Structure 1
Amino acid sequence: MMQNVHLAPEIDEDDLYSGYNDYNPTFDTEDLENDVAFQEAARTSHGRRPPCRPSLEPDMSFFLFKDGIARPMTAVHAAGYTKAAMRGSSFDPLGQARGPAPPLETKNFDSSEEKIRQLEKKVNELVEESCIANSCGDLKLALEKAKEAGRKERVLVRQREQMATPENINLDLTYSVLFNLASQYAANEMYAEALNTYQVIVKNKMFSNGGRLKVNMGNIYLKQRNYSKAIKFYRMALDQIPSVHKEMRIKIMQNIGVAFIKTGQYFDAISSFEHIMSMSPNLKAGFNLILCYFAVGNGEQMKKAFQKLIAVPLEVDYDDKYISPNDDPHTNLLMEAIKNDSLRQIEPNWLCVEVVKASHYVELANDLEINKATTYLRQQDFNQALETLKMFEKKDSRVKSAAATNLSFLYYLEHELAQATNYADLAVNSDRYNPAALTNKGNTVFANGDYEKAAEFYKEALRNDSSCTEALYNLGLTYKKLNRIDEALDCFLKLHAVLRNSAQVLHQIANIYEIMEDPNQAMEWLLQLISIVPTDPHVLSKLGKLYDNEGDKSQAFHYYYESYRYFPSNIEVIEWLGAYYIDTQFCEKAIEYFERAALILPTQVKWQLMVASCYRRSGNYQKALEKYKVIHRKFPENVECLRFLVRLCTDMGLKEVQEYMTKLKKVEKLKEIREQRIKSGRDGSARSRREGNVAGDTNSGGTKGERLSVKLKAFPGTSEPYESSTSKEIDASYVDPLGPQAERPKTAARKRTEEDDFADEELGEDLLPE
């Protein structure tokens, strides 16, 4: 609506600006909204206002009219616009004075052509969204978008056909939709659907380049290990790709060669790779060619293939190959490639080193020589390794540092600290910024006990390379030696942030918390550790010990039992399990563990006495008697065994009681004599003690007695003499190895004397000491 537009009234020719203050109420624009005639004129034939669209015509409302001729406004003086300015002026609301405006072209959104264009746009958007989802890793969403794009594209084709304009079908859009759908099927490992979709494209003659997609079909067959079909489709694709596309043809031939290797057709694979190396040589084809010649056992051709491989430019700068990995990421990749080179896993053929020296990869020869020495180390040929590494003593400083570092570590492993120190110094002096050299130097200083200085070398290595985990680990160990526990913990926690699954780091953290007397934290870290090494018996027994100290017997038993299951030879674990069953009144189960301990330590009478005591406590006196007799035959001087034999024979009314009493008397007499000799030796003169005469006599006497006892008996069924226990095992007063027996409920049976109490035992006068 045209409001606040002031047009010029008719004016006198002499005064162009006269009549502005005259007012004609006919042209009052404020009442136009209520003017029926004006509103009818302003409406379109459809009964609605025309849409407000921008016009290319200038807005004439800002022009003045004189006798029907538009005149531009001027700024000579103020126009003095007021409501009265409209009075007496001629008003042309429809702009008839200017002539009719050209009609605006309106866009019909309901037309079929517009709907088709919108649908095409939607299909393109869905294809783009599918590709974006695939690049983000959301393969399921990518497939859903691709399917939806396919459905809408088919609707679009049907609409085109209904309009009888099939020539306007967008073949590029159809191709992109089908190709994207097949790709998404393949990405989701729906290979049958992907192959069917590719077949639709390949069989359609309207797609001129569809035959190239047989390469994709060959890739799918290769993934399905259907190598014969993969080769067939690769060859068909190769026939349809013109020779101008050289790079694509080379890649297809390389895939054919790989498929032949998979099927064991090495000669066909050799033909493919030889053709590639003659047309467009590359590293992968050259390496595969070497493998094929190795597989057919042709060593001479293998060397020639290696020479071809060496001739391929790597496009890597070797000027600063021995600098720190932090300074050049490409160097790190190169060194990693050399370290894990699959070629040296084929056979130890050092002729390749000479070939490399004669090529433009001469800088790699040094690394091959060092790897050669490393291989000698794996073969435990230390002399050859040393000779190879010593060749670098006159090389460039950085190469010399790398070789000296390996030599230092080699001597360190051989416990030759002097040589290890010399080569560690050589490595550090050759390259002060080599973190491995500094770490080795710290190791040699650590081995000599100078922990403060070792810590300085480790810290310097970390300053040169903050990712040197060996230096950080050794620094933590050094702080532990220096009793700087907090700093050691800080080192291992930092290391844990880098090596999340390192068992050694987790064990060190748990051990430090144990030193700090924080068992809960120690158990937490040990639980993390057994999630990585669930079969480590040492960690399991450590957890059992911590839980036992905390009073949680059930958890302690669980971890001790798991430790015993994986390593049934740990005496501490065996003893704890046996004691656990005795405490829980299951002596029969404890026998199994004490018998195993007796097998592990057959010369210690302690475990066999425990087995006999378990039989006795469980009420199986006959078995206990037999076991004590066996123990007595192996250890005839054991006082504890003889005392129990006397007791059991007395309770069971056996005739052997007198025999065992006599033996007990003799053994106790011999024990008393030995104790007197030891006592007299301690009370000797100072000169005798310095010269060791008295002690020597005493030891020789004890040794003689032990030798006599060794000759008395042998192990049952063998001729080998037993090894007697020490003097500590022969004690005048017997203590039950299983501890005091738990008090049992009282019954109506006759009251028995405690089995271990010999105070009330009536012995004959012949058993009394003389």
Structure 2
Amino acid sequence: EHVTVHLSVEEYDLYSGYNDYNPTFDSEVTGYTSFLTRGEFKGPTFDPLGQSRLPAPPLEEKNEETPEEKIRILEKKVNDLIDDSCVAQSMGALQLALEKAKEAGRREKALVRKQELSGNGDHISLDLTYSVLLNLANQYANNEMYPEALNSYQVIVKNKMFSNGGCLRVNMANIYVKQKNYLKAIKLYRMALDEISNAHKELRIKIMQNIGLVFVRMGQYSDAITSFEHIMSESPNIKTGFCLILCLYAVGDEERMKKAFQKLISVPLGIDDEDKYFPSIDDPSSDMVIEAIKNDKLHQMEKDLKVLAERYIMTAAKLIAPAIETSFATGSDWCVDMVKSSQYVDLANDLEMSKAIIYLRQKDFNQAVETLKTFEKKDSRVKSAAATNLSFLYFLEKDYDQADRYADLAMNADHYNPAALNNKGNTLFIKQDYERAAVFYKEALRNDSSCTEALYNLGLTYKKLDHLEESLECFLKLHAILRTSAQVMYQLLLEDPQQAIECLMQVISITPSDPQALAKLGELYDSERDKSQAFQYYCESFRYFPTNIDVIEWLGAYYIEAQFCEKAIRYFERATLIQPTQVKWQLMVASCYRRSGNYPKALETYKDIHRKFPENVECLRFLVRLCADMGLKEVQDYANKLKKVEKMKEIREQRLKSGRAGSARGLGEGSAGSGGEQKIGANWERLSATMRSLPGSNEPYEASSPKELDASYVDPLGPEAERPKMGAKNRVTDYDFADEELGEDLLPE
């Protein structure tokens, strides 16, 4: 028999809905007839063994979507756009997030219009409208479109249908803070605070903290202190306590600073249960749990919070130590005592260490040494750090034996301390034991590959050992780490002048006021015979460091070569101030006066030189010539003095020769402290061609034969270059005293 099945309207809709949610069932199915439209169909005969098969219920194409279904689909699309906007913002695609938020706003408006036209205006979703407006305002703020963001927030706040819209005044206040409209920001913060109930204590605390920070930006520290003190009394936290100390320091309230510091170190962090990260003896299975949680995000958050708290406490202690007591030492001791009695007892040693560092910055080395020596009986970590600082301190004072001793002490306390190994290498480097120094630098790098000091020193060591390839490799590695280090760039100077100039130009771009780099650039351009560029960089070097003798010497020679002797006087006078016992600079000043035609000033300068260096032969020769040329009566006196000095020099040389046969040449003329009269020195070789073309031997100030009085002299600036003739009369540049009548006392004996 056939079974007749009557389908109700609800059952028919159920089948239709099943077809709607499973579109894969839309394919054509055989075995169905159209009698479903009549509400019944005949099935197969009753077959309990399953020999015949009951056909599946027929499916028909879905009817047209109802208005409610279309509205539901539109709502889903709007929600998807909001989700996409938030995801894009979290990935940093701020512009895409804003576009998605705008599209969601347009779709939501279309949805509202459709609901109103269909007569379902009462079913408009306020939550969806709130989400669209809030997301759009947030994306405007993220893209720094502040007027548009404020307008969107204002729409939500003014709509009374949004019950929680008042708290968005906090977002509006944050925008006003970014725009530096602090008065408006404080007003909105307070309005939001009035609308938030006391049940949301954490949110109220954060708003009050924002109010205090805005007062700090406005410079109203008293109002900020009031806000921060209220927070510390209601719900204390580390950041607020630190801000309170800063404000009290700004107003100079010593007693309240002490109380605020005590509150800061008593703030509970909520991470006291450190035992949970250590295995339990009674429960061996706890190892698996500890392995799972020891590096999870919660543990990392706890460690970050502890590090932040310790940093705030250390900074606050360093700040208030000199202000809360009559001296820095007393204030620092008070902070250390407070920390020792708190939960941060481990910070006491760090505070004492920072106390020693502050003594170093104040150049109170004795107090620094005494403070660091107190750590010799502490635990290994603190002991190693103190010994490392002591080693470097003694190294700076050039007490290399003590530096070496404390470097050994630091290594014994902690053999893996890279700073201690680096200090040990430095002491060996100073003793020129470069092989052993390289060993310690390499050990420091093995323990800490980021120890740039050891890598730099290793490069210098290889340079001393003439291992230039290894040295270059070290400095190239260091340059990859420290891209803007001028010292590293300077060490990368190559033998090729052009490459060296390019490298130095990079150094100058980073440190434009480095006088040594500027002088090196001038030297390189001078070797390339580019005098104009060399002069520019030497002048810049002199401007930043006007006591470099080499630079002064080059600039003076440059002006002499350019026949501007009066401008060279400035540089030689500066050299006279730097090296007052070197007579050659004063002789150059006098020669510049003479060659520029200022004979009275030249004579006065020579007389002043004679008063300071009465035994200088060259000065007496100049005085004899000038006085004779100007017709002065003092010529006879200076000639007699010249004769006596020549005799004294002859007797001195004979004594030296008799006492030391075969010794080096005798001492030069001048006083005992002036060694510049013997030789010009190696620096003289860098002077211009005019100054290098001195006639005679390499000792321009050497006296002539003592057997015969010689009143001739050699200009320390070299022979004067002939000026171009402009139609004027021939000018005598060299004085000829061949026809001069000398007195009887000037004749040879």
TM-score range, shorter chain: 0.7 to 0.9
The offset of 1:464, in angstroms, is: 0.9
Letter paired with 1:55: D
Change (3 A) 1:468 1:752: closer
1:389 maps to 2:372: yes
Q: Is the 8 A contact 1:581 1:590 kept in 2?
A: yes
Counterpart among 714, 721, 734 of residue 735 in structure 1: 714
- Between stretches 669-678 and 247-256, larger displacement belongs to 669-678
1:465 maps to 2:454: no
What is the CA RMSD across the aligned residues, in angstroms?
4.4
The offset of 1:309, in angstroms, is: 2.3
The offset of 1:470, in angstroms, is: 2.0
1:358 maps to 2:341: yes
> How far apart, CA to CA, are the structure 2 residues paired with 1:518 and 1:685?
50
Q: In the TM superposition, what whole-angstrom CA distance separates every residue of 1:425-447 from its partner, at most 9, and x where no partner exists?
A: 22211211121222222223333
Q: Is the 8 A contact 1:639 1:667 kept in 2?
A: no
Q: Which residue does the alignment assign to 2:62?
A: 105
Q: Which residue does the alignment assign to 2:688?
A: none
Q: Which residue does the alignment assign to 1:574?
A: 552
Q: Is the 8 A contact 1:290 1:306 kept in 2?
A: yes
Change (3 A) 1:635 1:546: same
3-state SS of paired residue (1:393): helix
1:428 maps to 2:407: no
> How far apart, CA to CA, are the structure 2 residues paired with 1:316 and 1:760?
102
Letter paired with 2:555: L
Change (3 A) 1:743 1:382: closer
1:263-282 correspondence runs (5 A)? 263=218, 266=221, 268-282=223-237
Counterpart among 154, 166, 170 of residue 211 in structure 1: 166
Letter paired with 1:630: E
1:556 maps to 2:531: no
> How far apart, CA to CA, are the structure 2 residues paired with 1:181 and 1:197?
7
Change (3 A) 1:272 1:642: closer
Change (3 A) 1:587 1:165: farther
Change (3 A) 1:728 1:588: closer
The offset of 1:294, in angstroms, is: 4.4
Q: Which runs of 5+ in 1 are unaligned?
A: 1-51, 62-67, 72-97, 321-327, 707-726
> How far apart, CA to CA, are the structure 1 residues paired with 2:558 and 2:169?
71
Q: In the TM superposition, what whole-angstrom CA distance separates every residue of 1:8-27 from its partner, at most 9, and x where no partner exists?
A: xxxxxxxxxxxxxxxxxxxx
1:58 maps to 2:29: yes
Q: Which residue does the alignment assign to 1:508?
A: 491
Q: Is the 8 A contact 2:387 2:407 kept in 1?
A: yes
1:76-155 correspondence runs (5 A)? 103-105=60-62, 127=82, 130-131=85-86, 134-137=89-92, 139=94, 142-143=97-98, 146-147=101-102, 149-150=104-105, 153-154=108-109
Counterpart among 534, 550, 564 of residue 512 in structure 2: 534
1:292-303 correspondence runs (5 A)? 292-295=247-250, 298-303=253-258
Q: Is the 8 A contact 1:639 1:664 kept in 2?
A: no
Larger radius of gyration: 1
1:676 maps to 2:659: no
> How far apart, CA to CA, are the structure 2 residues paired with 1:239 and 1:487?
70
- Number of aligned positions between the proteins: 638
The offset of 1:495, in angstroms, is: 1.8
Q: Is the 8 A contact 2:572 2:589 kept in 1?
A: yes
Q: Is the 8 A contact 1:631 1:641 kept in 2?
A: no
Q: In the TM superposition, what whole-angstrom CA distance separates every residue of 1:663-722 from its partner, at most 9, and x where no partner exists?
A: 564355345424432442343156x999x9x99xx99x986999xxxxxxxxxxxxxxxx
1:547 maps to 2:529: no
Q: Is the 8 A contact 1:669 1:769 kept in 2?
A: no
1:323-338 correspondence runs (5 A)? 337=311
Change (3 A) 1:537 1:282: same
Letter paired with 1:562: E
Counterpart among 602, 617, 626 of residue 628 in structure 1: 602
Letter paired with 1:257: G
> How far apart, CA to CA, are the structure 2 residues paired with 1:60 and 1:439?
91
Letter paired with 1:629: L
> How far apart, CA to CA, are the structure 2 residues paired with 1:316 and 1:426?
35
Q: Which residue does the alignment assign to 1:324?
A: none
Q: Is the 8 A contact 1:628 1:641 kept in 2?
A: no
Counterpart among 208, 223, 248 of residue 253 in structure 1: 208
3-state SS of paired residue (2:321): coil
Q: In the TM superposition, what whole-angstrom CA distance separates every residue of 1:182-218 from its partner, at most 9, and x where no partner exists?
A: 3333334443433232111111122222111111122
Letter paired with 2:502: E
Q: Is the 8 A contact 2:627 2:634 kept in 1?
A: no
> How far apart, CA to CA, are the structure 1 residues paired with 2:368 and 2:56?
104
Letter paired with 1:337: R
1:600-615 correspondence runs (5 A)? 600-601=578-579, 604-611=582-589, 613-614=591-592
Q: In the TM superposition, what whole-angstrom CA distance separates every residue of 1:121-163 from its partner, at most 9, and x where no partner exists?
A: 6655665565455445555565565456545554554455455
1:444 maps to 2:427: yes
> How far apart, CA to CA, are the structure 1 residues paired with 2:181 and 2:713?
79
> How far apart, CA to CA, are the structure 2 residues paired with 1:679 and 1:100?
135
The offset of 1:223, in angstroms, is: 3.1
Per the normalisation by structure 1, the TM-score is: 0.71
> How far apart, CA to CA, are the structure 2 residues paired with 1:756 and 1:117?
111
Change (3 A) 1:211 1:372: same
Q: In the TM superposition, what whole-angstrom CA distance separates every residue of 1:22-48 from its partner, at most 9, and x where no partner exists?
A: xxxxxxxxxxxxxxxxxxxxxxxxxxx
Q: In the TM superposition, what whole-angstrom CA distance separates every residue of 1:525-551 from its partner, at most 9, and x where no partner exists?
A: 221111121112221111100111122
Change (3 A) 1:131 1:107: same
Letter paired with 1:412: F
> How far apart, CA to CA, are the structure 2 residues paired with 1:313 and 1:440?
40
Letter paired with 2:260: A
1:755-766 correspondence runs (5 A)? 755-756=733-734, 758=736, 763-764=741-742, 766=744
1:187 maps to 2:142: yes
Q: Is the 8 A contact 2:112 2:124 kept in 1?
A: yes
Counterpart among 492, 499, 503 of residue 482 in structure 2: 499
Q: Is the 8 A contact 2:356 2:371 kept in 1?
A: yes
1:347 maps to 2:321: yes
Q: Is the 8 A contact 1:523 1:546 kept in 2?
A: yes
Letter paired with 1:529: V
Q: Is the 8 A contact 1:530 1:536 kept in 2?
A: yes
> How far apart, CA to CA, are the structure 2 residues paired with 1:476 and 1:616?
51
Change (3 A) 1:408 1:117: same
> How far apart, CA to CA, are the structure 2 residues paired with 1:425 and 1:614?
58
- Between stretches 636-645 and 273-282, larger displacement belongs to 636-645
1:166 maps to 2:121: yes
3-state SS of paired residue (2:62): coil
Q: Which residue does the alignment assign to 1:196?
A: 151
Change (3 A) 1:132 1:729: farther
The offset of 1:394, in angstroms, is: 2.6
Letter paired with 1:281: P
Letter paired with 1:527: M
> How far apart, CA to CA, are the structure 2 residues paired with 1:125 and 1:131?
10
Letter paired with 1:537: P
